[in-house]
Amino acid sequence: MANYALRVPDSLMNYARQVAEEEHVSMNQFFVTAIAEKVSALKTEAYFRERQARGDMAGFDAWLAASPEAEPMPGDELPGA
């Protein structure tokens, strides 16, 4: 496990401390979780960008054109529609 000295503006530190207390977690756990959430978000964005780059719009259009025209089945309704 690594250690890292982190400088945090007072206002942000006060808010982080408040949230950690409300969540009943240590400041260390709060910061580790916050970093993990940010890393996850960035990796997810990169994953979808990579998938988008591999996309084949002509293939998708062909697949969509081959899909049958059918009335929605029971349970396909959108809520509130």
Q: How would residue 76 be classed by pLDDT, with cut points 50, 70 and 90?
A: confident
**What pLDDT is attached to residue 77?**
84
- Residue 81 has a pLDDT of 65
The pLDDT of residue 48: 96
Query: Does residue 68 carry a pLDDT above 80?
Result: yes
Cβ atoms of 60 and 52 within 8 Å: the answer is: no
pLDDT digits (tens, 9 = 90+) for 1-56: 999 999 999 999 999 999 999 999 999 999 999 999 999 999 999 999 999 999 99
The answer to whether the beta carbons of residues 17 and 27 sit under 8 Å apart is yes
Helix (H) or strand (E) holding 45: helix 27-54
Residue 74: DSSP 8-state: T
